[in-house]
Structure 1
Amino acid sequence: MDRFKLSLIDEELESSEVAALRFLCRDVVNRKRLEDVSDAKKLFLRLEEKGLLDDDFFLAQLLQTINRADLLSVLETDSRPPEETDANPMLSDYRVTLYKIHENVTQENLEKMKFLLNPKLGRRQTEMCNTALDVFAEMEKIGLLSNTNMDELHKVLLKLDRDLARTVENYTQRSRREPLTSLLPHVSIDHRVNNTQPPPLDFLSISETQPSSVLVGETVCTDAEISNTRKSLSDLDEKEYYILSHNPRGWCVVINNENFTGPALKTRKGTQEDTKALREVFTRLGFKVVIENDLTAQQIRDKVIKLGRENFLDHDALVVCVLSHGEKDLVYGTDECPVNLKDLKKPFTSDSAPTLAGKPKLFFIQACQGNGYQRGALPCPPRPRQEEEEPQRSLEEDAGPVHGETVPSDCDFLVGMATVPECKSFRNTATGSIYIQELCRQLMISAGSPELEDINSVLIRVNREVSKGVFLTYKQMPQPYYTLTKRLVLKFI
């Protein structure tokens, strides 16, 4: 980043704001490396060492968090385009929560907090604390406070301010849902170093954010609940639900394009995490997973055509995932040649693959659909309801009668797009794409729940969770569309 711009930002920041920034960076910069940081310039040097100032994203988050959005105009004058698809490391929800508490702690409550914590922190350490952030830092040093343990702070805040205690409660609830926008304090985000590997994951690579105790993302239930769920699955009405009875359920083919041979498209770092997550989820859902890495456009076409010629009589469903660069209605092969989405689906229509007729065919596409960015907007307040509404007009269709029940060629498809047309999707270069990781997380939650939740409900939650995030100061809105004729419930085998 331009040093001149960093200098301008440094001149505008007060010492208290620099202290706040230093606290917010404790998850991404070694604590000892922050000890001698007395001004923003030194902090920027530390962030540069970690590669966190290669673009504007991380600094923009910091400035927004400390309520210095006025300084974002300095960053917006940067002539360099923002990163296209890689969502850089984000501020942890844990740090932001502590900062919000700090902002709302009165001087009186700060003194009470120090008094209540004095026996555990020690008199000398307590007296040296001038702000709530100082108190939090001391609590962290002795293990009283962490991103997975805010119990002691919660107890103290209950005696001071119920609203502040509720802030901790809300954070705890969010962390149990494994939010997208946080990082574990001990995880290094300096993934540019060649010998640095992503942290080992015990189960499913969703993100670097969740503690191991909630990594699985499943609902814990008793053996009785599990048996009841299985019983109800076997009793589903075939007219309302797709019946999944085979083991394996069918193929799950993942086309994973990471390395591109041309100059226009860059390497998709982090996509291997998506591959791991998809493999784990769909294997547990009973599918036979096949990973196809780095395919050219023609190889992609050949693969789907060959797959469409398979005999699917003993299959209940088909899943195809494509992880690549893309534009509206197309994805790119590693040779930077396009493949239309309709060409991906065509080999599996009812007339092309009759043994798949009447069976669900799921496509999940992680790719951009254009060069645009989505910005957030506040919804308008609801208007008062009119006492009388104009009745809807009747709609008629002059088509002739249909004799007998037919199966349309394009029915029973579901396509989950990472983003809406004309816009970009985002991918964290260390933890995987925002959309695929959230999709896998929600599938795991639904599959482990005793509720019979269908895929449409799952994708609505994916939409909601992804739309909450802010990536490179922009938003992302996934878009599912479907021609399913029944409800599809995916459960663990």
Structure 2
Amino acid sequence: MDFPRRRLLVVSEELGEGDLTALKFLSRGHIPMRKLEAIQKAQDFFEALQEKGMIEEENLFFLKELLYRIRRIDVLESHLGTSRQEMERELQIPGRAKVSPYRYLLFQLSEDITEYELKSFKFLLGQELPKCRLIPQATMLDVFTEMEKKGILGEDNLGVLKSLCAEIGISLLKTIEEYELKFGEEEMVVTEAQRGSPAGTEAHAGYLASSVAPDSPDRRNESSQVQAYKMTSRPRGVCLILNNHSFKKARERAPELKGMKDRTGTDVDAGALKRVFSKLHFTIAEYRDLTAEEIRKTVNMYRCEDHKDKDCFVCCILSHGKKGMIFGVDGQEVPIRELTASFTGQNCYSLAGKPKVFFVQACQGDSCQEGVNIETDSKEPDDSVEPDARFQLECIPTEADFLLGMATLQDYVSYRSPYHGTWYIQALCHHLEHSCPQGEDILTILTAVNQEVSKKTCQPNSRKQMPQPAFTLRKRLIFPVN
């Protein structure tokens, strides 16, 4: 028997069932899951690594890294002649590590979790995973594996996991946030040497380093760049438009709602939104004149839809409202928070980790914003605009990956022309149409929208309007035209 195989045999005899499970889990990405699931012995696992070129006669580094990751330092030192300190130095070398940072994150969580927290995970996932996979003997690694199979967990899909950890244990959530801070926002560059490395030995992107010197200006600029959300699917996702025009039902239902006028001009906004988001490769779904209950049912329908193959979700709400609420055409209220929260990672797993964008055309109060005497390049008076009803900003979930674009500041009205549509939606569509082909991100575009709307004036009292975005985006949101 040759020397490496004798050494592998000795190592295999030192490993227990739990060790083998951890080694297999950390090796995903190098060995197909189906093949790993069939492996029951450490010797077979080592054979599979050899077949993939991950273990070679003169190179046992991947095996050493695996043993280091699962904290079998005793085996590492006694049978492979490598100390903990040596491995720590090796893993500081850019491109040296082969274990995926994402997979190591999951392994760390499985090591840190308590028995009570594991039971809580299984309980909360009871409706999502097969009962036979949540038996008492199932480990946290087993749970992670089933979540990945179900499509509710992945390297770019940590939303559900974060939601669960937030409910179960703050220390677990902190581990994920530290991982995201270290790897999620970095723009990694493969060096020339790494580009030329043989197949099967590439380092994971999280460990790749730039060929630029660490202290150079270029390196600093590179590391400060914020990564962009993936936006390559066709279609990109659904653009849901809730367009309420006629409020006759509301006026007939209650005397106090007699002043709730029809929203003349809203179809101009809806048409502009459909035109622009079609160009941005979204599937358009417009619903007109919905009651409060119909709004809930419609939103729930899209919450339950499978967005697995889509990169984004957009919802545009055009209706009357009041503080924190939106009105159905029957005058009944629906909390805006209820609509946005329907698409959190916990409530809509297939959108976890993906951007959820809401644009709301409505006032946030009764006050009128007064203009100040400054010089402007242009003034566009419009003596036929109307205020929409009230709305409040505290409607965005605290979870990541949300953007809420509001037509105006809190406590103030926004304006709608019966002939030209609303100031906000028309400016939004104009800047999306012109800036997306140039690669501008959505926050830059919304800043330009603020600038345009702020220049408009409602005569005869020189009333003004200022839109306001709120967001928990983690990455740049860019809508490519091509």
Task: Tell me the TM-score normalised to structure 2 length.
Answer: 0.46
Task: Tell me the TM-score normalised to structure 1 length.
Answer: 0.45
> Which is greater in Rg?
2
Looking at both structures, which has the greater relative contact order when contacts are Cα pairs under 8 Å and sequence separation is at least 6? Answer: 1
